[in-house]
């Protein structure tokens, strides 16, 4: 009878170890997903800081009033 009890205990422990391995694998997967999210957030943060630090560009309009006379044509176009 003692041998059977030992076998039962071994199966129970094996089952418990398998369950713990599955949980560990799930935790590793979640950790990897969190690392991916952190990396994406860092990239977004870096981009936002960069975008905020870049001075605004002049409008891309061919007819900019450079002589401040109220018209929208450059004097040198004539």
pLDDT score recorded for residue 63: 57
DSSP run (H or E) holding 35: helix 2-53
Residue 38 lies in a domain: yes
**More confidently predicted of 6 and 67:** 6
Tell me: pLDDT of 8 over 60: yes
Domain count, the chain: 1
Give the count of beta carbons closer than 10 Å to the beta carbon of residue 41.
Answer: 10
Residue 17 lies in a domain: yes
51 CB-side CA count, 13 A: 6
Q: Residue holding tokens 């994406």?
A: 40
Residue 75 lies in a domain: no
Tell me: pLDDT of 47 over 90: yes
17 is in which domain, residue-wise?
1-52
**More confidently predicted of 74 and 10:** 10
Burial of 5-24, coded b for 16+ CB within 10 Å and e otherwise, reads eeeeeeeeeeeeeeeeeeee
Tell me: pLDDT of 62 over 70: no
Tell me: pLDDT of 70 over 90: no
- pTM of the complete model: 0.55
């Amino acid at each position: 009878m003692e041998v059977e009890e030992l076998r039962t205990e071994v199966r129970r422990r094996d089952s418990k170890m398998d369950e713990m391995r599955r949980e560990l694998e799930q935790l590793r997967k979640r950790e990897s997903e969190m690392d991916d999210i952190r990396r994406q957030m860092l990239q977004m943060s870096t981009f936002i800081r960069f975008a905020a630090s870049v001075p605004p560009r002049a409008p891309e309009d061919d007819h900019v009033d450079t002589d401040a006379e109220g018209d929208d044509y450059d004097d040198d176009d004539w």
